[in-house]
């Protein structure tokens, strides 16, 4: 059970309007009160912040806006004392163009780091070497006058891609990883884990038929969706790097969750990258971060695919994060529906990651264009408003417009709607969603079958999604009515004892029928 923190927006400790590491330290007791096992902190490394820390200029230091290495050490120490592990976000596929490695690499074609990034000569007509596109819009290639070559950037122009075909690069990123392991980090979230290698021959990507496109990775207005990214990512060499990475993790007893960014092959890669004991322990899946509300039928399809391609693997599920519209708004959830999806998430096979403010039921904030910070939103406005709406500051108490986040004007405005949903207000309300999250997390932790068990296969019966989780002789039946209407289901054979009353679980009737109210769950233990 992982809690994601976006450090710019969690807690400002020094009054500059930007969250920082000591702010996180201040709020760690609250996070521990949720019952989570670990925190994942989005990037806080030295960076020009063109992509808010996902453009790293020094892998082994803290950006001054977030604090110091000593502050980070205090964070790790405090988290460990509170019984939580610390995972940090490693962005290894690319650096900032202000990283010393790139400064040297771009100087000429003969320096010691000339081959540390993906460089290519132009075509005879001066155009880029192939048709690869950037997730942030336009070509994935940028001309550099110093070398008279193009460099690859799968994201912003200011985020050149490292050349993992160069073993010196591989060793350099492993050294950076070890730096944080030596400081007591317990694991990593690996950003864009399938982007590390590009095709050595730089072959064109084929077009993607219109009927196969989806917007799970990039918004529909982005032409990135028009290609099958066969050669610009997802290369087989990635597996050998992951073996080396896992060998380093194993020396420290650390773990990693890889973010697989691919709309067509995501679950297949999840299965590949988490199989056996050689690669990462889990992969972050995008299927439940999609735009459409997951229906029982869709959930059954997703888990059937997982069972097919990742039976030996392990997913990490999330409904919200720092890159997508908050799921309460994305799926237009009522309070009852938000509770149902919270309980469902805690019962799914796989690890679980919740995003700061999710436990409060925060909707997407409406950030006006003039206040936008996200380059993605600025590029595709107004059809796509970017990611700022899910990145606005955490609301701790309602006493002022800043929600207890900062004594200064925050880097993004605090939503007025959010102010009415603060931690302080919800702590005082026994019926608040915050308490339901605590109960659901505690319920998961109390049952080994839910934490690490297998499942019988996820099934859809009308508006109900249902399955049995199993581990260490324990079996738990889970059913969820994902609709606004009452419905019924026949209990499976066997002697089942109702559990989960604190989560609103229904009891079967004398004839073995489950009568579920709108958005109600039914949880039962086999005895």
- Closest residue by Cα to residue 278 from 298, 249, 258: 249
Please enumerate in sequence order all residues whose Cβ is within 8 A of that of 478, keeping only pairs 6 or more positions apart, or say none. 344, 347, 466, 467, 468, 469, 521, 522, 523
Concatenated DSSP letters of 198-252: --TT-PPPPB--GGG---SSS-TTSGGGGB--TTTS--TTHHHHHHHHHHHHHHH
User: Using omega within 30 degrees of 0 as the cis cutoff, is the peptide bond preceding 382 cis?
Assistant: yes
Along the 527 residues of the chain, how does pLDDT read in single tens digits? Answer: 999 999 999 999 999 999 999 999 999 999 999 999 999 999 999 999 999 999 999 999 999 999 999 999 999 999 999 999 999 999 999 999 999 999 999 999 999 999 999 999 999 999 999 999 999 889 999 999 999 999 999 999 999 999 999 999 999 999 999 999 999 999 999 999 999 999 999 999 999 998 888 766 667 778 999 999 999 999 999 999 999 999 999 999 999 999 998 888 999 999 999 999 999 999 998 999 999 999 999 999 999 999 999 999 999 999 999 999 999 999 999 999 999 999 999 999 999 999 999 999 999 999 999 999 998 888 888 888 889 999 999 999 998 899 999 999 999 999 999 999 999 999 999 999 999 999 999 999 999 999 999 999 999 999 999 999 999 899 999 999 999 999 999 999 999 999 999 999 999 888 879 999 999 999 999 99
Please enumerate in sequence order all residues whose Cβ is within 8 A of that of 68, keeping only pairs 6 or more positions apart, or say none. 21, 62
Report the distance separating Cα 113 and Cα 106, nearest Å.
Answer: 9
Concatenated DSSP letters of 438-494: HHHHHHHHT-HHHHH-EES--EEETTEEEEEEEETTEEEEEEEE-SSS-EEEEPPSS
Contact 481, 517 (CB under 8 A): yes
Report the distance separating Cα 503 and Cα 488, nearest Å.
Answer: 18
According to DSSP, residue 170 is labeled H
pLDDT of 137 reads: 87
Report the distance separating Cα 493 and Cα 489, nearest Å.
Answer: 12
Contact 399, 391 (CB under 8 A): no
Concatenated DSSP letters of 49-82: -TTTTSS-SEEEEE-TTT--HHHHHHHHHHHHHT
Q: CA-CA distances (angstroms) from residue 165 to 115, 157, 437?
A: 9, 21, 44
- Closest residue by Cα to residue 39 from 10, 71, 69: 10
pLDDT of 285 reads: 86
List, in order of start, the domains of the chain with CATH numbers. 2-95+167-444 (3.20.20.80), 455-526 (2.60.40.1180)
The active-site residue, picked from 191, 358, 388, 463, is 191
- Closest residue by Cα to residue 410 from 365, 351, 442: 365
pTM of the model: 0.96
CA dihedral 484, 490, 495, 496 (to 10 degrees): -10
**Beta-carbon neighbour count of residue 409 at 10 Å?**
12
According to DSSP, residue 196 is labeled S
317, HSE (Cβ side, Cα atoms, 13 Å): 22
Report the distance separating Cα 145 and Cα 151, nearest Å.
Answer: 11
Residue 191 among the catalytic residues: yes
| H or E, element range at 85 | strand 85-90
The active-site residue, picked from 199, 259, 358, 359, is 259
Please enumerate in sequence order all residues whose Cβ is within 8 A of that of 45, keeping only pairs 6 or more positions apart, or say none. 53, 56, 57, 58, 59, 60, 61, 62, 63, 91
Report the distance separating Cα 403 and Cα 425, nearest Å.
Answer: 11
Report the Cα 233 to chain-centroid distance in Å: 19
- Closest residue by Cα to residue 282 from 265, 269, 294: 269
Contact 155, 46 (CB under 8 A): no
Contact 330, 507 (CB under 8 A): no
Residue 454 among the catalytic residues: no
- Which three-class secondary structure string do you get for 341-398? HHHHHHHCCCEEEEECCHHHCCCCCCCCHHHCCCHHHHHHCCCCCCCHHHCCCCCCCC
pLDDT of 293 reads: 97
**Beta-carbon neighbour count of residue 134 at 10 Å?**
22
Report the distance separating Cα 506 and Cα 448, nearest Å.
Answer: 21
pLDDT of 217 reads: 65
- Which three-class secondary structure string do you get for 123-169? CCCCCCCCCCECCCCCECEEEECCCCEEEECCCCCCCCEECCCCHHH
């Amino acid at each position: 059970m992982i809690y994601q923190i976006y450090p710019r927006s969690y807690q400002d400790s020094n009054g500059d309007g930007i969250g920082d590491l000591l702010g996180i330290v201040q709020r760690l007791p609250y996070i521990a009160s949720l019952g989570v096992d670990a925190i994942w902190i989005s990037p806080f490394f030295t960076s020009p912040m063109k992509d808010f820390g996902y453009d790293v200029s020094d892998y082994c230091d803290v950006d001054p806006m977030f604090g110091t290495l000593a502050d980070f050490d205090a964070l790790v120490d405090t988290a460990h004392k509170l019984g939580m592990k610390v995972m940090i976000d490693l962005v290894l596929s690319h650096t900032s163009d202000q990283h010393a490695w790139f400064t040297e690499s771009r100087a000429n074609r003969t320096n010691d780091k000339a081959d540390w990034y993906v460089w290519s000569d132009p075509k005879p007509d001066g155009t880029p070497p192939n048709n690869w596109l950037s997730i942030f819009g336009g070509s994935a290639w940028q001309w550099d006058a110093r070398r008279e070559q193009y460099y690859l950037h799968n994201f912003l122009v200011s985020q050149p891609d490292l050349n993992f075909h160069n073993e010196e690069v591989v060793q350099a990123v492993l050294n950076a990883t070890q730096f944080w392991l030596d400081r007591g980090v317990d694991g990593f979230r690996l950003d864009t884990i399938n982007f590390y290698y590009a095709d050595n021959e730089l072959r064109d990507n084929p077009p993607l038929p219109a009927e196969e496109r989806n917007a799970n990775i990039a918004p529909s207005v982005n032409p990135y969706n028009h290609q099958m990214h066969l050669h610009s990512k997802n290369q087989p060499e990635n597996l050998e790097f992951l073996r080396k990475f896992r060998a380093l993790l194993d020396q420290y007893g650390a773990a990693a969750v890889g973010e697989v960014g691919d709309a067509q092959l995501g679950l297949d890669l999840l299965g590949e990258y988490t199989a056996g004991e050689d690669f990462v322990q889990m992969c972050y899946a995008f299927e439940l971060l999609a735009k459409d509300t997951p229906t029982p039928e869709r959930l059954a399809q997703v888990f059937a695919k997982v069972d097919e391609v990742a039976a030996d693997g392990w997913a990490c599920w999330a409904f919200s994060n720092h890159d997508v519209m908050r799921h309460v708004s994305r799926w237009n959830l009522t309070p009852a529906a938000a509770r149902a999806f919270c309980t469902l998430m805690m019962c799914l096979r796989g690890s679980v990651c919740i995003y700061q403010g999710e436990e409060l039921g925060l909707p997407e904030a409406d950030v006006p264009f003039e206040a936008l910070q996200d380059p993605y939103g600025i590029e595709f406005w107004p059809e796509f408003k970017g990611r700022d709406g899910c990145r606005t500051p955490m609301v701790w108490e309602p006493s002022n417009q800043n929600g207890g986040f900062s004594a200064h004007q925050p880097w993004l405005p605090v939503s007025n709607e959010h102010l009415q949903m603060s931690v302080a207000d919800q702590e005082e309300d026994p019926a608040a969603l915050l308490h339901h999250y605590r109960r659901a997390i505690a319920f998961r932790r109390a049952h080994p079958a839910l934490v690490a068990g297998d499942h019988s296969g996820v099934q859809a019966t009308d508006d109900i999604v249902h399955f049995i989780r199993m581990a260490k002789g324990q079996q738990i039946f889970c059913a969820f009515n994902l609709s606004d209407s009452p419905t019924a289901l026949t209990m499976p054979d066997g002697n089942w004892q109702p559990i989960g009353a604190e989560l609103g679980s229904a009891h079967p009737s004398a004839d073995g029928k489950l009568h579920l109210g709108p958005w109600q769950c039914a949880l039962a233990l086999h005895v």
